[in-house]
Amino acid sequence: MAAISFEELMLSIMSATQDTFKSYMNIDLLAGIVEKKVEPVDSDVTGIVGIAGDRVGYIIIATDKASAQRVAKGLLLIDEADDECIRDAMGELANNIAGGFKTKYHEQYGSVALGLPLVVSGRLQAISESLAADQTSSINVQCKGVTIPFRTADGSIRLSVMVYM
Protein backbone atom coordinates (compact mmCIF):
# COMPACT_ATOMS: atom_id res chain seq x y z
CA MET A 1 0.00 0.00 0.00
CA ALA A 2 1.45 3.37 -1.03
CA ALA A 3 1.81 6.02 1.65
CA ILE A 4 -0.35 9.09 1.24
CA SER A 5 1.67 12.27 0.82
CA PHE A 6 0.91 15.48 2.70
CA GLU A 7 -0.07 17.16 -0.57
CA GLU A 8 -2.51 14.35 -1.47
CA LEU A 9 -4.04 14.52 2.00
CA MET A 10 -4.56 18.30 1.77
CA LEU A 11 -5.96 18.11 -1.76
CA SER A 12 -8.40 15.42 -0.61
CA ILE A 13 -9.61 17.57 2.29
CA MET A 14 -9.86 20.67 0.11
CA SER A 15 -11.77 18.77 -2.54
CA ALA A 16 -14.11 17.15 0.01
CA THR A 17 -14.87 20.56 1.54
CA GLN A 18 -15.47 22.33 -1.76
CA ASP A 19 -17.48 19.41 -3.17
CA THR A 20 -19.70 19.30 -0.07
CA PHE A 21 -20.54 22.99 -0.33
CA LYS A 22 -21.13 22.79 -4.08
CA SER A 23 -23.19 19.57 -4.01
CA TYR A 24 -25.40 20.30 -1.00
CA MET A 25 -25.71 24.10 -1.08
CA ASN A 26 -24.57 25.17 -4.58
CA ILE A 27 -21.93 27.37 -2.93
CA ASP A 28 -18.44 27.84 -4.36
CA LEU A 29 -15.73 28.01 -1.70
CA LEU A 30 -12.28 29.45 -2.21
CA ALA A 31 -9.45 27.74 -0.37
CA GLY A 32 -6.74 29.80 1.26
CA ILE A 33 -3.14 28.92 1.97
CA VAL A 34 -2.60 25.72 3.95
CA GLU A 35 -0.86 26.51 7.23
CA LYS A 36 1.30 23.66 8.53
CA LYS A 37 0.60 24.76 12.07
CA VAL A 38 -2.30 25.39 14.36
CA GLU A 39 -3.08 28.94 15.35
CA PRO A 40 -5.84 29.99 17.74
CA VAL A 41 -9.10 30.28 15.83
CA ASP A 42 -11.98 32.45 16.94
CA SER A 43 -14.90 30.12 16.47
CA ASP A 44 -18.48 30.18 17.64
CA VAL A 45 -19.27 26.70 16.32
CA THR A 46 -16.94 23.75 15.74
CA GLY A 47 -17.73 20.36 14.22
CA ILE A 48 -15.31 17.49 14.92
CA VAL A 49 -15.15 14.03 13.33
CA GLY A 50 -12.64 11.40 14.41
CA ILE A 51 -10.90 9.22 11.83
CA ALA A 52 -9.62 5.72 12.53
CA GLY A 53 -8.08 2.96 10.45
CA ASP A 54 -4.79 3.01 8.58
CA ARG A 55 -4.56 6.72 9.52
CA VAL A 56 -5.89 8.13 12.80
CA GLY A 57 -6.80 11.73 13.50
CA TYR A 58 -9.49 14.39 13.36
CA ILE A 59 -11.15 16.70 10.88
CA ILE A 60 -12.35 19.89 12.57
CA ILE A 61 -14.51 22.57 10.97
CA ALA A 62 -14.61 25.90 12.84
CA THR A 63 -16.65 28.98 11.96
CA ASP A 64 -18.37 32.06 13.32
CA LYS A 65 -22.09 32.06 14.13
CA ALA A 66 -23.13 34.15 11.08
CA SER A 67 -21.39 31.70 8.72
CA ALA A 68 -22.85 28.75 10.65
CA GLN A 69 -26.34 30.23 10.25
CA ARG A 70 -25.82 30.59 6.49
CA VAL A 71 -24.59 27.01 6.30
CA ALA A 72 -27.59 25.78 8.31
CA LYS A 73 -30.04 27.65 6.08
CA GLY A 74 -28.42 26.29 2.92
CA LEU A 75 -27.87 22.76 4.11
CA LEU A 76 -31.23 22.30 5.84
CA LEU A 77 -33.20 24.42 3.32
CA ILE A 78 -34.76 26.61 6.01
CA ASP A 79 -35.44 30.35 6.30
CA GLU A 80 -34.23 30.82 9.89
CA ALA A 81 -31.65 28.81 11.81
CA ASP A 82 -31.85 28.50 15.60
CA ASP A 83 -29.07 26.99 17.75
CA GLU A 84 -30.38 23.44 17.33
CA CYS A 85 -30.46 23.80 13.52
CA ILE A 86 -26.93 25.20 13.59
CA ARG A 87 -25.69 22.26 15.67
CA ASP A 88 -27.38 19.78 13.32
CA ALA A 89 -26.01 21.50 10.21
CA MET A 90 -22.45 21.78 11.53
CA GLY A 91 -22.48 18.10 12.53
CA GLU A 92 -23.79 17.20 9.08
CA LEU A 93 -21.21 19.44 7.41
CA ALA A 94 -18.33 17.88 9.37
CA ASN A 95 -19.69 14.41 8.66
CA ASN A 96 -20.04 15.09 4.91
CA ILE A 97 -16.56 16.57 4.57
CA ALA A 98 -15.04 13.67 6.51
CA GLY A 99 -17.17 11.25 4.45
CA GLY A 100 -15.89 12.75 1.19
CA PHE A 101 -12.36 12.35 2.45
CA LYS A 102 -13.07 8.78 3.62
CA THR A 103 -14.44 7.77 0.22
CA LYS A 104 -11.41 9.02 -1.64
CA TYR A 105 -8.93 7.76 0.94
CA HIS A 106 -10.56 4.33 1.13
CA GLU A 107 -10.51 3.92 -2.65
CA GLN A 108 -6.81 4.72 -2.83
CA TYR A 109 -5.30 3.69 0.48
CA GLY A 110 -7.49 1.25 2.40
CA SER A 111 -9.48 1.09 5.60
CA VAL A 112 -10.90 4.30 7.11
CA ALA A 113 -13.63 4.61 9.76
CA LEU A 114 -15.36 7.78 10.97
CA GLY A 115 -16.61 8.61 14.43
CA LEU A 116 -19.89 10.37 15.13
CA PRO A 117 -19.72 14.15 14.66
CA LEU A 118 -19.32 16.26 17.78
CA VAL A 119 -20.38 19.92 17.72
CA VAL A 120 -19.02 22.32 20.33
CA SER A 121 -18.57 26.05 20.81
CA GLY A 122 -15.68 28.10 22.11
CA ARG A 123 -12.33 29.52 21.07
CA LEU A 124 -9.88 26.96 19.71
CA GLN A 125 -6.40 27.43 21.08
CA ALA A 126 -3.22 25.42 21.30
CA ILE A 127 -2.66 23.53 24.56
CA SER A 128 0.53 25.49 25.17
CA GLU A 129 -1.41 28.76 25.53
CA SER A 130 -2.42 29.76 29.02
CA LEU A 131 -6.00 30.75 29.70
CA ALA A 132 -6.68 34.39 30.44
CA ALA A 133 -8.37 34.97 33.79
CA ASP A 134 -11.52 36.33 32.12
CA GLN A 135 -11.69 33.61 29.47
CA THR A 136 -14.43 31.17 30.39
CA SER A 137 -14.76 29.10 27.25
CA SER A 138 -12.03 27.47 25.21
CA ILE A 139 -11.21 24.23 23.51
CA ASN A 140 -7.60 23.10 23.69
CA VAL A 141 -6.25 21.19 20.70
CA GLN A 142 -2.99 19.54 19.76
CA CYS A 143 -0.35 21.78 18.24
CA LYS A 144 0.40 19.42 15.35
CA GLY A 145 -1.75 19.59 12.27
CA VAL A 146 -2.75 21.93 9.49
CA THR A 147 -5.35 24.63 9.01
CA ILE A 148 -7.02 25.38 5.68
CA PRO A 149 -9.07 28.58 5.54
CA PHE A 150 -12.09 28.72 3.21
CA ARG A 151 -14.44 31.54 2.25
CA THR A 152 -17.01 32.45 -0.34
CA ALA A 153 -16.06 35.09 -2.92
CA ASP A 154 -18.29 37.65 -1.18
CA GLY A 155 -16.99 36.72 2.29
CA SER A 156 -20.46 35.78 3.57
CA ILE A 157 -19.19 32.37 4.72
CA ARG A 158 -15.80 31.86 6.34
CA LEU A 159 -14.56 28.69 7.95
CA SER A 160 -11.38 26.85 8.79
CA VAL A 161 -10.86 23.14 8.27
CA MET A 162 -8.20 21.69 10.54
CA VAL A 163 -6.71 18.26 10.03
CA TYR A 164 -4.76 16.21 12.57
CA MET A 165 -3.29 12.98 11.18
- The whole-number average pLDDT for the span 13-41 is 89
| CATH of the domain spanning 6-164 | 3.40.1550.10
pLDDT of residue 40: 65
Q: Which of 137, 77, 87, 105 has its CA nearest to residue 16?
A: 105
pLDDT of residue 133: 47
- How many CB atoms are located within 10 Å of the residue 129 CB? 13
- The whole-number average pLDDT for the span 78-86 is 95
pLDDT of residue 101: 83
Distance CA 13, CA 5 (A): 13
Cβ burial 74-108 (10 Å sphere, 16+ → b, else e):
bbeeeeebeeebbbbbbbbbbbbbbbbbbebbeee
pLDDT-derived band at 66 (thresholds 50, 70, 90) equals very high
**Where are the domains positioned within the chain?**
6-164
Instruction: Give the pTM.
Output: 0.83
Higher pLDDT: 104 or 109? It is 104
- How many CB atoms are located within 10 Å of the residue 112 CB? 20
pLDDT of residue 111: 77
Instruction: Judge whether residue 137 has pLDDT over 70.
Output: no
Q: Which of 74, 76, 83, 60 has its CA nearest to residue 29?
A: 74
- The whole-number average pLDDT for the span 95-108 is 84
Phi-psi bin for 25: left (phi > 0), alpha (psi -120 to 50), beta?
alpha
